[in-house]
Every structure is written in C-alpha cells, then in structure tokens.
A and B are shown apart, each in its own frame.
Chain A
Amino acid sequence: MSNSKEIKQKVNGPASIVDKLRFLNNQIVYLVLVIIVIGVAASVLNQNFLTLRNLLNIMQQISTLGILTMCMALLMISGGLDISIGNMTGLLAIIFARMLLTGKSIFLSVIVVLLLGLVFGFINGVIIAKSKVTPLIITLGMNYVFLGIALIVGGGRPQAITGQFQFLGQAKIGGIVPVAIIIFLLIFIFSFLLRKYTKYGRRLNAIGGNPLAAYLSGINVDLHIISIYALSGLIVGFTSLILISRLGMVQADVGANFALQALAAAIIGGITFEGGKGSLVGAFFGVLLLGILSNALNIVGVSSFTQTIVLGAIIVVATVISNIGKMRR
C-alpha cells in the first residue's frame, strides 16, 4: 500500500522536464521552424532582409493585424468569434477622422473612439450571450452594419487627417522602435497574462471548453461572454487609432479584410474553433509568420496576386497539419 503511494507520488510529483517543455506545443515549434526557414531563404536571396530596419518594418506592418489577432484569439478561446472587428476598425477610424476634421480635440476624439469600441463590442456580446445564436452569423451581420454606418459618417469619401495625430502610428522611440510595435507587444503581453494567469482568463477558457459545464459549475457565463466582446471592442478602438495615425487617411472599408486575416493568423497559430484550446504565443507567431512571409515575398519580388494564393494555401496547410496531430493523439 505504502509502496504504491510512493510510486504515485513520483508520477504526480514535481513537474518532469517533459511537462516543463510542454508549453512548446507542437504547432508553435513548427511555426518557429517555418519562420526560420523563410527567414534564412529570404536573407540568402536578398541581403536587405536580415537588417534591423527591415525587421522593425515587418513588426510595424503587422502591428494592427497583430492586435486584432489577439482580440480574435481571446474570443476564440472563449468559444466565440468576431467577424465584425474589421469594419469596426474602419468605422472607428472614420469617426475619429470626422471628429478631428470638425475641430474636436484629439483628447476628446480618442476617448470617444475607445468608448465607442467598448460599446460596439458590448452590443455584439449581449446579442451573442442572450440569443445563443452562433457568433459567426451575428458578427457577420454586424460587420455590414458597421460598414454601412462608416459609409454614412464619412459620406462615402476617404477621410484624411494629414499632418495630425502621427504619434501612435509613425513615431519611433529613440528614433528606432516604432510606438505601434510597443503597443502591439503590450497588448500581446496583456492578453497572454489575462489568459494564463487570471481567474477571468481561466473562466473564459472553461466557457470555451464546455459552456454547459461552465454554467453548471456556477460560472456567470453571460457576463464573461459579454465582457470579453466588450474588451475586444476596446482593443479594436486602439487598433483604429494606430491605423489612422499611420495611414493619415482612411476609407470606410479600410478594414474589410482585417477580420479574416486575424482569424487566419489565429488559426495558423494553433487556436481552434473548439474553444478552450491554443495559446496566445501561438497566435503571436501566427501573425509573425504572415508578416515575414509577405515581406520576404515582396523582397524576392513575388507579385501581390501570387502572395494571396500563398496566404490561402498556408491557412489550409496549417489547419490540416494541426488536425493530423489530433488524429495521431
């Protein structure tokens, strides 16, 4: 009896090395390898690839997509999804531009955009939590609602804020590191900590894993779902500010492809529709892969049309690979 206890102690005892390395889950290892392969190939073909300037350039280019990917990943881990974040970004950027152009202060405009982001997300969350309709349909509908409002607010014309509000998108700290990258990294770290080290994140994870069991475990499922959509909306607000600051001019449909790209990045990073699965580190590398690939293809001189094909193929390959892993288990 005591003997078997001892054996058990060993089995359940201090984490083994395998356990400690478990955070390197397969998909992330593959991702990093692929990124390295692409990087090596690109730097062999073109010396300009592996320069600090180019790498920072890549990071800046993916910063808005990266932030949206964090939103999408948090939502997917909670068993949800938000297809409307792309046009939500566009709408908020247009609203911001209109406010500046009609003489409102930058401070007021920023506050309004962030609050509106929160409200838009909240609305999505309430509809999804209360109606129990699949988030895909609800947010697909809201995607058009946001686009329509953006067209009305902007009168269907591009809105330019030339010369104003350049800090978030164009400023560089110490003249080297763009502010946008810092914000992206901060939001990544925030999401990572939220998911892994907070009660809130743990409960979201549980809801994503099994909403019924979460409900019967006394978790306030609706509250968590509504709040994560609202939080996601707030982050979309930040994204829209970075975007307009970087571009200086936006159209209503500027974000039309953002949501699907963020979804793709999350999926490539190992986040699944199952909920409760995947890691934000994976999603981070997913975005990084997309950014590096696009940059590498550009540098090598592949046309943007061909790049679109490559992007699509990568999504298919990544999901198939992650599913093979599942079949083996």
Chain B
Amino acid sequence: MENKTLEKEKILDVKNISKEFPGVKALNNFNFDLYKGEVHGLIGENGAGKSTFIKLLSGAFQPNIGEITISGETHKYLTPHVARRLGIQTVYQEDILVPGISAAENIFLGTELIDSKKFFVSYRTMTDQANTLAEQMGITLKVDEIYERLSPSDQQFVKILKALAQKPKVLILDEPTQAFNVKDIGLVIEMVKRISKEGVGVIYIAHDLEEIIEVADRITVLRDGRAINTHDKKLEKYQPDDLAKEMIGRPVDLFFKKKESPVGDYIFEVRDLKIKESAKPISFRVREGEILGVAGLKGAGRSEIARAIFGAYRKLGGKIFYKGKNITPSNPIQAVKSGIALLTESKKVDGLFMGLPVDHNITVVGIDSIGKLFLSLGKERKLCNEYVNKLNIKTPSLNKEIRFLSGGNQQKVVIAKWLFKGVNILIVDEPTHGIDVNAKTEVYELFTELAASGKSIIMISSEMPELISLSDRIIIIRNYEISKVLEKNEINEENILSGFMGGN
C-alpha cells in the first residue's frame, strides 16, 4: 500500500457513479480514476456521457448515486465551490472570456493579483506573472494583447493558462484542440505533457483518436454512459481502429430502417466551392430524390459550406447549379427564390421566431401563398392545420408561441416552414440535434417521404446511425475539403471514421 503511494498517488477516484435525466441514463455505474501527473484520455461518441461526467466533477450536476474521492476527501456530490476548493479546474469548449480586456487580465480575472495593502490592481504584476506562466508552458503569447484580437488557438491557450493560474490538482480539458490547425495541435499536446509533469492530473477529452493516443497515458472509452474499457499505454499497444470499434459497438436496432425509393438524375451541383484559402475547392452533385449525407467532425467546416451554398457565408469562389442553370446565390433571398432551403443546426437562434406563434413561423417564408394585398387569416389557419397534421406537430393551438413546444416539434415546424414555401433542395444541418428518439424517427420518416417525392436533401450529421441509415451517398468533410466520397455500398462506420482521420 505504502509502496504504491510512493510510486503514484491517486488524486481522483470516482466510484459507481450514475446520473439520470428524465428518460436518459447519462452515466451508468461509471468508474474512473486519475493519478498525479497522469493524462487520462476520455473518448466516446456524442451523447456517450462525457460532458455529463465533466459537469459532475466541476459541480454543475450532481450524481444520483456513487461517490467521488479527491485528494483523500470523499464526497457524495460536488458543488462548483467545493470542486474549485479541491483543485478541479475545467476548460470547456464553449468557455467565453471577456473579449475586450487583455489576455493577462483574463487569466487573472476574479483572482486579480491585488496587493492587499493597495487598492488598485497591479497590471505590471499581472502581465509579468502571465508571461512567466506562458513561458513555463513553453508557449509564446502576447499577454498584453486584447483577448478578442488573439487567434483562436491563442485564445484557447489563454483559457488553459487561466485554469492553470488557479494551481489545479485536476485539470479537465474538453476538446482543447477544436479551434486548432494541425501544426498547433502539437503545441497543445506538448503543453499538456508539461502540465502533467508538474504533477497535475489531466483529464483530456478529444474526438481525434490519433491525438488522444499521442497525449494520453491511459484512455477510457465511454459508451452509453458506461466505461467500456480502459487502455494503458504502458501495458499495451492500440490503434485508432481498436478504440473506434469500442466507441461504436451499439445495438443494431437503433438504426432507422429506411424505405428505399429510386433516385433520379443529377439536378443540383456545387462546383469548385472555396471558402477557405488553404483548402482545396469542393465539388459535388446531388440527384433528384437523393439524400446526400455530409459527415465530418465538428469544426471541419460542414456548416460553413452549407451556409456558403445558401449564400449566407462568404465564398472565395465557386458556382451552384440547379438543373444546369447557374443559380449561385449571393444572399439567402436569392437562394430561397431558387428553391434552396437551409435548416440550421442552431434553430432556436437562427431558424425559429421563438416569440411568434406556430402559424406565423410556418408561413413566414411562403407567405405569398396566403393572399395578395391582404392576407387571408382563415386560409392561413387552414393550411397550417394541414401541415400540423401531416407532420404530426404536437401543439395545443396554432397561436401557441413556438418556444413552448418541444425540440422535436420545433424542428418539425422548421421543416413545415420550408415545405410550405415549396423548395426543391433542403440543406439540413444536424436535423435531429437535441430531439428525443421518437421525434428522431419521425424526422427520418419525413425525410424519406420527401426524398421519395423528388426533393433532394443534403444532410449534415454527426450521428452515425442517422448518416448510415438515411444516406444514399456520403461525402466526408475534413478541414474544409472533401476527404472521401462513399457510395451506397461503401457506407459503414469504419469507412466514415477513417474518412474523419484522413485515411483511405
């Protein structure tokens, strides 16, 4: 026992933890431990329970059962305050610092190095200390630069330094390299190794398997809220494929069984679309009645490509054709006129009018069809009711403000909005994000029907089952380029995953 303590000291021990949300078991009897000076990687698909776990450690959520032991103290749950006192620091992906003040000020925000005898904040001390911290971590960072003027990767460094300034025992990094290009990922990995050498235990979450294999001493695979396996670098050799298989292995019945329908000729074409200087231009075609899957990791540029096609994102070059005619839209107004629809991922932010009633949301784009000079509200009501019934939108009335509907029903209203307008090409970005399983199936059925009726769907998705069961073809996007095209008979998880990594 004593020998072991000398050898390596366990600073975090999570035992038999479970966390349930209504209808979902996010974590199920999960065990996890972390040693001093160790990098412990955590991988799993979206929804596997990674974020829930982090939030339990940072005190944002509280587990239903289980216990967390940290630095010898055992707790049933943590609060944000206790977590901080025990030395747990988390760098979230979506962390936002104060944009208008310097990097150094951000790093010491809330813990300003105030000389207790003085009233004023010492900017020089702050800058010096921030510089020392950056130096220790082996990065060059202009600490007196205004935060919002820093590059995305430097901003990420600032976030990490901010956490380090608290002198943590456990540092949780949630996809720290998301904003990075390949070269800078190396810098993060080096930095993380340095941090762990100082004796900090690091929990490292990433989607890129090669990256996590490089940085982590041990890797735990999470799937459906359970720890599937924990690999130790010292004891075994493992490849991305091994990990991917463990991540996937899900029951087959989660897949949607699509009724196949014949697809027609090519009607829509994206030719030499370029939105990032360093990336190769993108070209692809879509057939009538086809569902084209667009796979890729978060940040690979899929949403930007979708917006560029729709005229809502700056294009550096490229043309869009519909039935052989150049329709390249320079704004959404033209795109909608040409019969293109964009269903955004963040529908609450930029797809729906949350304060407006259901019927207004449905008719907003296609309002021309309910009257010339004056609108016929009766006709509007009648047509909306048809859509509500057809799409099985559950709402107490058409007058209900849409923010009161569930995510699934909101998504159906967005779809209804575009169908009401009558479009030919639907670009859908993460169509089932944040909606429950039943609503998902309904959306899938709807897409299948739409495709069968001759509409073409370009479906961006991060959900494997969705991509695999719905797509007629899949293009995989990596760093704003098409890295791979999969024909119907080539579509499977291994091929998609290898496309993510840039393999063949």
Residues of chain A whose beta carbon lies under 8 Å from any beta carbon of chain B: 5, 8-9, 11-13, 15-16, 19, 22, 193, 197-199, 202-203, 205-206, 209-210, 212-220, 274, 276-277
Contacts and interface: CB of A to CB of B under 8 A. Distances in A.
Interface string B343-366: 010000111111110001001110
A218 B312 CA distance: 10
B364 A203 contact: yes
B243 interface: no
Given A11-B396, A210-B353, A197 B375 contact: yes
A19 B381 CA distance: 12
Given A197-B374, A206-B364, A218 B336 contact: yes
A213 B310 CA distance: 13
B354 A209 contact: yes
B98 interface: no
Interface of B: 310, 312, 332-333, 335-337, 342, 344, 349-356, 360, 363-365, 367-368, 371, 373-375, 377, 381, 385, 388-389, 392, 394-399, 417
9 contacts: A8-B389, A19-B399, A193-B374, A202-B375, A209-B355, A209-B356, A214-B353, A218-B336, A276-B355
A22 B400 CA distance: 11
Nearest to B332: A218
A274 B377 CA distance: 24
A218 B398 contact: no
Given A12-B398, A202-B364, A213-B351, 5 more contacts: A212-B349, A218-B336, A220-B333, A274-B355, A276-B353
A209 B364 CA distance: 12
A76 to B, nearest CB: 13
Nearest to B352: A213
Given A209-B353, A218-B365, A199 B336 contact: no
Contacts of B310: 216
Contacts of B373: 198
B467 to A, nearest CB: 24
Given A8-B389, A12-B389, A12-B398, A218 B355 contact: no
A197 B395 CA distance: 24
A277 B355 contact: yes
Contacts of A205: 356, 360
Given A22-B399, A202-B375, A206-B360, A217 B355 contact: no
Contacts of B337: 218
Contacts of B392: 8
A289 B389 CA distance: 43
A9 to B, nearest CB: 7
A280 to B, nearest CB: 16
Contacts of A214: 353, 364
B356 A206 contact: yes
A215 B396 CA distance: 28
Nearest to A274: B355
B34 to A, nearest CB: 42
Given A12-B388, A15-B381, A209-B356, A216 B374 contact: no
